[in-house]
Amino acid sequence: MAQVEYWYSDDSFIHCESALRRAIGQYASRNRWIYIGLTQQRPEDRFNQHQRKWAEGHKWDRMIVIYRARTFSLMQTVEDRLIKYAQMQIDFGHYACTLINDKDSQRPKAALAPNGFWVYCLVQQ
C-alpha cells in the first residue's frame, strides 16, 4: 500500500544536512529506485500526481517527506544538494539503486507556497 510518511526537519540546512544525507543513504541502500523532489503542494497531493504518471507495477511504494524549508530558494538548494550527493554516492558504487531524477526537471519558477516548501524522497523496492 502506497503512503506518505513525514520524517522531516525544519531546522537550518547547515544543522541537518548530515542527517538528511544519512536518510538518503538509507533509502538508496534499501530500494531499487529513488527520486528526490520538491513541492509547494500538500505532499499527499503531489504523491498522488506521481502515482498517476506510472503504470501498475511501476508505482512508488512510499513518499518520505524529509525537509520543510523556510524559503523557496532554500527548498531548491536542498533538493539540488541532495540529488548531487545521491548521484555521487551511486557513481562511486556505494549504492546499487537508480536515481530517477533528470537534469531537465520541471521545477517551479515562482514561490506560491500555500502549503509550505517541502523536499521529499520517493522510493520503490
Structure confidence at residue 112 (pLDDT): 72
Extract the residue ranges of the chain whose pLDDT is less than 50.
Answer: none
Spatial distance between the Cα atoms of 16 and 8, rounded to a whole number of angstroms: 10
Quick one: cell of 53?
504518471
Structure confidence at residue 106 (pLDDT): 61
Domain boundaries, the chain: 3-124
pTM for this predicted structure: 0.89
Structure confidence at residue 116 (pLDDT): 85
